[in-house]
Amino acid sequence: MDSDEDSFIHLPSPSISATESWETMATEQALRLKDMCKALEVDQFSLEAGRKESEQEASRLERETEHLRKRLQELEEESQPQKAGFQREIQLALTEKRQLLQEKLALENELEQLERFQVAQEELHKVPTNLPERAMVFKGHVEEAKEETLPNCLTVRPQIRYPVPGGSALITFESHEVASRIIGMEQHHVQLDEFSYVHVKAEAMTLLLPSSLEISLERSPRRVLLSGIVASSLPEDRLLEKLELFFSKRQNKGGEVVSVERLSDSGHVVLTFVDDGVAERLIQIGRCQVPIGEESHTVKLSHYVGGEIAELQFRPSVCARTVVLTGIPDVLDEELMRDALEIHFQKPSKGGGEVDSIAYVPIGQCAVAVFEGGEEEEED
């Protein structure tokens, strides 16, 4: 059974006054405010500690910043000489680059000029194995060679074209001994006037001459060579038309003509037929009368023989009396320089002698010297 104390509902005692109730509430409120003040004091203390810590951290960072600033300044001061050195090196590199570009352009121009000279020289000296097709006529006497006799020889009179670059000269002496002496001295000081002279170099002139020539001959079964055609008042096209018309007729032992051609080097005419046998039939006739204009001409009919160069060999040949002078600067005009060179190399005291001819090519120009076989003595 519950106690009496738990069996009743407690009501406010009518003996507690309203003043005491307000005092209790005030006390409780004061306690709460006191607790809040203590909490604020704790927070203030914590904030103050955080502020001091932040100030210490800020001071430390400021010191580190000042240290870094001083270190950076020291590094900048230390790097100033290196920076100046780098700038000087960069400037020198740029200057060297400009000089190299200028030298490159000069070398490219010189290379281009040398390539042009080389191409010109190769074109002048180059002979293909098979020359372009060209008609050839043999006018000699044909007979069987005896065993004790030498085979027929083909005499070649070559015409050599030698490119002469600018800043050089060709000088031909009357004596090959003078030329040899000039070449042996190699370097020469040519006096231009009382106070100036130039240095030139003397070299031997070497030409490539044909030493062996092999020609492959082939007789054409459809071509006929017409020779003995005298000059006619008819134009060439009309003359060829007349010949084509005449030899295309069956009653003249001819046949259908493919082409008719006038050989410029001999004046003969070559007829080309469509069918085999026509050329042989006409050649067996030998000669025939052909009406050309108002006259009748006797035309000889013979085989057409085409030839090609099968093999051509060269040998180097040194000109005995001609010397090449190189390294001549462009300090005088052409005529004065040629006179100065001729006067110098005529003097026996300079190793020279009588000059037969001289040709000078100034810098910036080029020329071609022509040598014909038999006109220049040669040394192997």
* Partners of 162 in the β-ladder: 369
Instruction: Name the residue among 280, 296, 240, 298 with its Cα closest to residue 264.
Output: 240
d(CA 270, CA 376): 38
pLDDT at residue 374, rounded to an integer: 46
Distance of CA 317 to the CA centre of its chain: 30
pLDDT at residue 181, rounded to an integer: 93
Instruction: Name the residue among 165, 161, 185 with its Cα closest to residue 116.
Output: 165
Instruction: Tell whether pTM > 0.85.
Output: no
End-to-end CA distance of the chain: 159
pLDDT at residue 148, rounded to an integer: 44
Instruction: Tokens for 39, please give them.
Output: 């909490």
Instruction: Name the residue among 326, 328, 121 with its Cα closest to residue 207.
Output: 121
Amino acid at 56: Q
d(CA 189, CA 196): 10
The CATH number given to 214-310 is 3.30.70.330
pLDDT at residue 154, rounded to an integer: 55
pLDDT at residue 75, rounded to an integer: 85
Q: Three-state DSSP class for 172?
A: strand
Instruction: Tokens for 200, please give them.
Output: 């030139």
DSSP string of 310-377, one letter each residue: EEEEEEEEEEEEEEEEE---S-S-HHHHHHHHHHHHH-GGGT---EEEEEEE-TT--EEEEEETTSS-
The Cα-based distances of 31 to 20, 27, 34, 35, 37 in angstroms read 16, 6, 5, 6, 10
Residue 249 near residue 333 (C-beta atoms within 8 A):
no
pLDDT at residue 2, rounded to an integer: 47
pLDDT at residue 12, rounded to an integer: 52
In a structure prediction context, what are the per-residue pLDDT tens digits for the chain, which is 380 residues long?
444 444 444 445 544 456 667 888 888 888 888 888 888 888 888 888 888 888 888 888 989 989 898 888 888 888 788 777 778 888 888 888 888 888 888 888 888 877 776 765 554 444 333 333 344 444 444 344 444 444 455 565 667 788 889 899 999 999 999 999 999 999 998 888 878 888 999 999 888 777 777 777 778 888 999 887 776 667 888 888 888 888 888 888 888 998 888 887 677 888 899 888 888 888 888 888 888 777 787 888 888 887 777 777 878 888 889 999 999 998 888 899 989 899 999 999 989 999 998 999 999 888 888 877 544 433 33
